[in-house]
Structures are given as C-alpha cells and as structure tokens.
Amino acid sequence: MAGFGGQGLMFIGKLLAYSAMKEGRHVTWIPSYGPEMRGGKANCTVVVSSEEIGSPVIPHPRAMIIMNNPSLEAFEPQLQANGLLLLSSSFVNRPTARKDIKVVSVPASEIAESAGTEKSANMVMLGAYVALTRVVSKESVVEGLKELFEKKLDLFQANVRAFEEGMRFADKHQPGAG
C-alpha cells in the first residue's frame, strides 16, 4: 500500500493485519514514512499467511494498493507478473507501464464522498482489495473497525459504508489486463 502521508494507508494496513490476526492468521505489518508529516511518501507492507512468516520482506508482492503517481512509478516494477494492481484513479492520472498485470482503477475519493466522507477513500480501496483477493472476510474488517471506533459511531458508520462501496465497485469491475 503506497501513497502520500495523510491518505490513511497505515490505518488500512493495520486494519488488514488486525483483521487477519482475528481470523487466526500470521501477519506482519511494516510501515515506511518519508520525513514529511503529511503529503510525503508513505507505504506499508502487510503479509498475511496461514503459516509462520519467515521474512516480512516481500520483493515481489502479489497485490498493491497505489494512491498516487510517485508510488505507481516507484512500486509498479516490483509487482509480480499477473499480480493485482489497485489504483486510486482519484489521484493516479497516468497509465500503467506493464501489460502483464491485472489493473483495477477505483475512483476512491468520489465513491467515498458519495458514501458520506471523502476522507474514507482509503477504506474504499481496502474494500476493493478485500473483494478481489478475499484475503480476509468482510466481517473481520467490520469487527476491527467497530473496535477501533467504538466511541465514534459516526466514523465507524462512514468507514463501513466506504468499505462496502469499495467492495461493490470491485465486484462490478473485475480486473482486466493493464
């Protein structure tokens, strides 16, 4: 997962790892921040496995969530052949360079805004990712959100709506060759 700081990538990375942990899976979550507080580079790697994880370093991931042009340029070459590339078309406005990957462009900000808050674009992307990979269940993610936002019902509901809309979008727009 990669983009600008402030886009909520670390949050959805942690939520994905937590959701997988709740399902009894082995996980690692490794954040990487640029020196800026907001607007700088931000990415994280999440590994989910049914077995112990020998190394959290993944040189060629199976799937990526990319939320800006610099991240697409930096990380696209690392995606394994036939891997899944989820792009936020709200922020990524250049075509992919590779033809050997599956690409799904998600208008994350627009979907999030129609679901109640543009700030939940990250949750739209996570919803699309979960719908396409089935790495964790929808229920695990919703339960994780419930625990994180137990005292903020409005934030919980907005994030669940954005997550569900991302899942619906992905179900309608299955990946095609990029």
Domain 2-177 has CATH 3.40.190.10: no
Residue 101, pLDDT above cutoff 60: yes
**What value does the mean pLDDT take over residues 95-106?**
94
The residues facing 106 across adjacent strands are 88
| Residue with the two structure tokens 């942990």 | 21
pLDDT in tens, 157-173: 899 999 999 999 999 98
pLDDT at 175: 63
pLDDT at 115: 87
- Element of type H or E holding 23: none
Residue 154, pLDDT above cutoff 90: no
pLDDT in tens, 49-89: 999 998 888 889 999 999 999 999 999 999 999 999 999 99
Identify the residue with better confidence: 44 or 38. Answer: 44
SS (H, E, C) 95-145: CCCCCCCEEEEECHHHHHHHHCCHHHHHHHHHHHHHHHHCCCCHHHHHHHH
One-letter amino acid at 57 equals V
pLDDT at 178: 42
Most distant CA pair in the chain, distance: 45
Percent of the chain whose pLDDT exceeds 90: 76
Q: Is the pTM of this model over 0.85?
A: yes
Q: Which of 75, 171, 81 is nearest to 132 (CA)?
A: 171
For residue 18 the two structure tokens come to 């937590």
Residue 43: pLDDT band (50, 70, 90) is very high
pLDDT at 39: 67
